[in-house]
Amino acid sequence: MATEYVKFVDVTKCDGCRACMVACKNWNDLPAEPQDFLGSAQSHTKTTADTWNVLQYIEHENSKGGLDYLFRHSACFHCTDAACEKVCPEDAISYTDFGTVVIDHEKCVGCGYCVNNCPFEVISLKEYVDKNGDKYRKANKCTMCTDRLEEGLQPACVTTCHTGAMQFGDKTAMIQKAEERVKQIKDRYPNAMVYNPQGVGGTHTVYVLAEKPSVYGLPENPKVPTSAVVWKDYAQPIGKMMIGATTMAVVGAFITNTIISKKKNGKNEDGGEHHE
């Protein structure tokens, strides 16, 4: 098994240059999505099917009454217990040995359950048109550059970050770095914290946030939705069993009916003979 890696994002070192967004588009060959001016420096409101990471710009009044201009590189968290993986009816979403969560487009049917259940709202559906002009949809999100990891390279966003706000490495080492960083910045940002929510089993993108998660529009304690757990761990297996039961019933009925109708035919033939 490969080492489990974590992307450590220290938002307090980010200067909002958006090179991570460009590097992502470049490596993953994603088309540009021109946007109208949204009233701030932020380009897109959130991640989309063609924009896998978005730099958030947040104007925040801190506890001293001053203005903090906060930045956050937002992308898929790669949860250890990923809700998207739980709800996918086609097993199209899976974990890699690196700890990343990836979507298999061969299996994805575009149902959108993952989109509705992601606690961080990072997955989106993209519409494609096949050669017959028929439309179909597939889920898209950040892959943590799993294709680069397989080549022994770090994710594109991390390698391009010029302030060192992002680092990539061994899970325990990165979490330790995050905790040390929080201690360093406590006097400047009293609310600073490591964001590695345990409600989803921890994530493979770990943040040092300068403020509470809600300031960044993040859930304070994200959880895998109960419905998702019920769906994956109970309903789906039972559902598959039910399919089995009904299939058996149909097959059984078919066999019995055939035998019975044969008997009926036989009777008819008998009747015919009698008639003669």
Partner 1 sequence: MKKSVVSKEYQNLQQDILALQENWKKSINPEAIIPKLDKAAMSAGVPAAALASINFEISLFLQWIEEINVLLTQNNPELESKLAEVRTLLNEETAIRWIDEAFSFNSVYFAGFAEENGLEEWIPQFLAETALRPYLQVTAEKIQHEITHAVPGAGCPVCGEPARLAVLEDEGKKVMTCPRCLAHWNAKRIECAHCGNDDHKTIQFLTIEGDASSQIQVCEKCTGYIKVIDTRQYLSKPSPAMLDLNTIHLDFVAQEQGYQVVGEIKQTN
Binding residues: 14, 17, 20, 24, 76, 79, 84, 88, 108, 111, 114, 118, 142, 145, 157, 161
147: tokens are: 């294709």
Q: What is the largest CA-CA distance in the chain?
A: 109
Instruction: Identify the residue among 65, 152, 271, 272 touching partner 1 (CB under 8 A).
Output: 152
| H or E element in which residue 148 lies | helix 146-149
Residue 153 sits in the site that holds partner 1 (CB under 8 A)? yes
Residues 85-104 that bind partner 1 (CB under 8 A): none
CA-wise closest residue to 25 among 48, 58, 56: 48
Torsion region of 29: left, alpha or beta (phi above 0 gives left; psi -120 to 50 gives alpha): left
Instruction: Determine the Cα–Cα distance for residues 261 and 168; give it in Å rounded to an integer.
Output: 70
Q: Hey, what amino acid is at 266?
A: G
Instruction: Identify the residue among 7, 141, 148, 204 touching partner 1 (CB under 8 A).
Output: 148
Q: Which stretch binds partner 1 (CB under 8 A): 85-93, 151-159, 180-188, 242-250?
A: 151-159
Instruction: Identify the residue among 89, 110, 112, 169 touching partner 1 (CB under 8 A).
Output: 169
Residues 6-35 that bind partner 1 (CB under 8 A): 27
**137 bridge partner residues:** 127
Residue written as tokens 């940002």?
A: 189
C-alpha distances in Å from residue 151, one per residue of 53, 109, 246: 22, 29, 47
Instruction: Determine the Cα–Cα distance for residues 57 and 36; give it in Å rounded to an integer.
Output: 16
Instruction: Determine the Cα–Cα distance for residues 205 and 72; give it in Å rounded to an integer.
Output: 12
Residue 204 sits in the site that holds partner 1 (CB under 8 A)? no
Instruction: Identify the residue among 43, 94, 159, 236 touching partner 1 (CB under 8 A).
Output: 159
Binding site for [4Fe-4S] cluster, by residue number, is 14, 17, 20, 24, 76, 79, 84, 88, 108, 111, 114, 118, 142, 145, 157, 161
State the nearest-atom distance from the C-beta of 1 to partner 1, in Å: 15
Instruction: Determine the Cα–Cα distance for residues 200 and 24; give it in Å rounded to an integer.
Output: 25
Q: Which stretch binds partner 1 (CB under 8 A): 130-138, 150-158, 171-179, 210-218?
A: 150-158
State the nearest-atom distance from the C-beta of 39 to partner 1, in Å: 34
Residues 212-241 that bind partner 1 (CB under 8 A): none
| Positions that interact with partner 1 (CB under 8 A) | 5, 27, 148-154, 159, 162, 168-169
